[in-house]
Structure 1
Amino acid sequence: MSEALDTVATVRRFNRFYTRAIGVLERGYLGGPYTLAENRVMYEIAHGEMVTPSAVAAALDVDAGYLSRMLSKLERDGMIERRRSDVDGRSVTLRLTARGHEFFASLNARTIDRVGELIGGLSAPDKARLAGALDTAQTLLQPQPDKAPIVLRSHQTGDMGWVTERHGVFYGTVYGWAPKIEAVTARICADFLDNFDPELERCWIAERGGERVGSVFLVKDSEPGVARLRLLMVEAAARGEKLGRRLVDECVSFAREKGNREIVLWTHEVLTAARGIYKAVGFELTETWVHDDFGKPEVSETWRLKL
């Protein structure tokens, strides 16, 4: 319950910050004569073909009566016009007038400028981290259809390329580790394929509806009787479903089955979600050091689990 309340408080705090930062609370959005809702109506009309009032209402999830009042105002101001559909004479379509197009182009430019000012002081890596975080937030918060179950399978042709690409994109975007992390991941994957021992090693690929959403590897370490967990990855679309824990549990069960006495892994202090999983499973932090192999100083860690 406390975690849920903390999350609610964090989301509400961000909402208060962001609505103020982008001008939502201004009487006229970005100093113009229209509210944010009215501007969104024009956005939907500008970016669609044969747009109907019902389509706009569905896209914005607004009451039909409220939308009708906004459309009437925009029509009186000469921003939009209604036309009978060429396909169905009973249906009305909406389009921007020449004046509406001119206004919308100006609004779009001002919106870009406002966001540019908001992120202008960020470094390139921080801008990439922000974009990744916002993509993750949208994925987690948007309504989800009934999801197909996630299945785990052994690696197949093409999986190593996917693992390398996803590690490069995610860690490069969120933590600014590109391109070094992609090179490191590619070497790990190549070594796995070149030296794969099916009796003692395994790669699990998590799939939902044929789409890859996660991975983890368990390989032989240089020390006999020790297995090494590598390349744990869960895509944003599958987070919150305990997939990371499930993948780690598979590694632990397999290592025990094969008679290993210990599992070791390498991670980083900033990877708090993964570290939380390792700690919950029973891994213990045994070593830390600082390196700049990814282009900037990071705290690396060794964790071990006695089996």
Structure 2
Amino acid sequence: MDTAATLPPPADERVAALRGFNRFYTRRIGVLHERLLGTGFGLAESRVLWELAHLDAGSPGISAAALARELDLDPGYLSRLLKGMKSRKLLRTQGADADARQQLLSLTAAGRRAFAPLDTRSQAQMGELLAALPEAEQRRLLQSMQTIEALLGERPVDRPPYLLRAHRPGDIGWVIARHGAIYADEYHWDLRFEALVARIAAQFVERFDARREACWIAERPLALGQGENLGCVFLVQARRDDIGEVEPGVAQLRLLLVEPSARGMGVGARLVAECERFARQAGYQRIRLWTQSNLLAARAIYAKAGYQLTGTEPHHSFGQDLVAEVWERALG
């Protein structure tokens, strides 16, 4: 069973929720105040001070154009900002060694003295926010922030923003819970589907043979040694449903799932490809899977990977009228 349906475009309520979060967070950390953290600097000036204070050791400075790109500020606005900071003797400029016409910015001694209390107060403010939360909630907060940064930040084009790993303690419970929640939300399937997933997962654990069976978890790495699960798939020895007898040479792909937040990243296709790679290595002759006709995105993944539809059967399960499908992929 699987789900990889494409999310609809962001609805008005989602946009409103994101805007509401922005208002909450900017108010919570005080960036709307004219003078940040009780200093004589606004938010933009504070960011300029921070960037210049954290230049690499021995760096002669940074050009105004590079600083504008780093802060994503309008060059004209930044120029006016820098002019005011220079008049307060917080900044100095010097010609670059390679091109004296290019002026590099750096902090003066006065600029570093001005930045010190701003940095100290910011550190204290963030420490107070964290100290108000228990350890588990601190970790949850930091992981959530890292998730936001990963989703909204620039993504590397040379590698996927996730890895595949083997299952470990806690993953099987996650597989069951997320299948139940996602299918209930997107397809209105009832608790009997979650019970089926629980039985399949339990059988996997009880019968697990690492030479011929595997589970992969797609995970987005986060800091603090943690990760966010994005999807999963199982490859097991196929068995006859009626008597549980092994079908020699046949593997079964089961429980493919992709989190809604990870769709469009190629997670589902990569999980299916990993199943094929493992099955060939383990000596299987073909892979079989069971799915439903309404799981369109997953069916598209199977078709693209070379699976063929071999049988259909209408049935009423999980509180819905469904059409079951069997797909197979010969491994040659």
TM-score, with normalisation over the residues of structure 2? 0.55
Q: Which residue of 2 aligns with 1:240?
A: 263
Distance 1:258 1:111, change over 3 A: same
Mapped to 2, the partners of 1:306 and 1:252 lie a distance apart of 19
Q: Which residue of 1 aligns with 2:22?
A: 15
Distance 1:16 1:78, change over 3 A: same
Distance 1:109 1:64, change over 3 A: same
Distance 1:216 1:58, change over 3 A: same
Contact between 1:30 and 1:110, CA under 8 Å: does it hold in 2?
A: yes
Greater share of helix residues, 1 or 2? 1
**Aligned counterpart for 1:27 among listed residues 31, 34, 37:** 34
Aligned counterparts, 1:84-95, within 5 A? 84-95=95-106
Secondary structure of 1:110's partner?
helix
What is the identity percentage for the equivalent residue pairs of Structure 1 and Structure 2?
33
**Aligned counterpart for 2:44 among listed residues 20, 27, 37:** 37
Q: Give me the CA root mean square deviation.
A: 4.6
How many angstroms does 1:84 deviate by?
A: 1.8
The higher radius of gyration belongs to 2
Q: Which residue of 1 aligns with 2:282?
A: none
How far does the alpha carbon of each residue in 1:189-242 deviate from its partner, in whole angstroms, 9 at most, with x for none? 9x96x5422xxx4666889xxxxx9753222489726968479677x8xx2316
Please, which runs of 5 or more residues in structure 2 have no aligned partner? 1-7, 175-203, 220-229, 247-251, 280-285, 293-297, 299-314, 327-332
Contact between 1:80 and 1:96, CA under 8 Å: does it hold in 2?
A: yes
**Aligned counterpart for 2:13 among listed residues 6, 29, 33:** 6
1:241 is matched by which residue type in structure 2? G
Distance 1:230 1:126, change over 3 A: farther
Distance 1:56 1:259, change over 3 A: closer
Q: Which residue of 2 aligns with 1:196?
A: 211
User: Is structure 2 residue 137 aligned with structure 1 residue 129?
Assistant: no
How many angstroms does 1:37 deviate by?
A: 0.5
Aligned counterparts, 1:1-307, within 5 A? 3-48=10-55, 49=59, 50-144=61-155, 147=157, 162-163=165-166, 195-197=210-212, 201=213, 216-220=233-237, 224=244, 229=254, 239-241=262-264, 243=266, 245-246=268-269, 258=287
Give the total of aligned pairs: 231
Secondary structure of 2:62's partner?
coil
Please, which runs of 5 or more residues in structure 1 have no aligned partner? 151-158, 172-187, 208-212, 264-276, 287-304
Mapped to 1, the partners of 2:85 and 2:158 lie a distance apart of 43
How many angstroms does 1:121 deviate by?
A: 1.9
Larger RCO of the pair (alpha carbons < 8 Å, separation 6+):
2
Mapped to 1, the partners of 2:75 and 2:45 lie a distance apart of 14
Distance 1:202 1:117, change over 3 A: closer
